[in-house]
Amino acid sequence: MDRDRLKYLFKEVLGVDVDAIVRQVTASVAVERAKQVPEQSKEWARYMEEKGGIVLLPRNVTDVGKKPKS
């Protein structure tokens, strides 16, 4: 079966909007990954400090997940 036919059947038989679910899942994954970035950056900085290195993270990395300044 082709994709459009399957989407139609899901919508008519089960009442499920496949496109809406895909958008929700994609958004959820993006939010979860964005939440992980600051923690991963901190872990990397700690690791580099332990090894005696200097860590300079670019602003686009350190500002991920922060609210934009008004």
- Given a contact cutoff of 8 angstroms between Cβ atoms, the answer to whether 53 and 46 are in contact is no
Position 46 scores a pLDDT of: 85
pTM, two decimal places: 0.46
pLDDT for 36-64, tens place per residue?
888 888 888 888 888 777 767 788 777 87
| Mean of pLDDT values over 7-14 | 86
* Site of tokens 């686009």: 60
User: Which ranges of 1-70 does DSSP label H, i.e. alpha helix?
Assistant: 3-9, 18-51, 59-62
pLDDT of residue 33: 87
pLDDT at residue 70, as a whole number: 65
Mean pLDDT score across all residues of the chain: 83
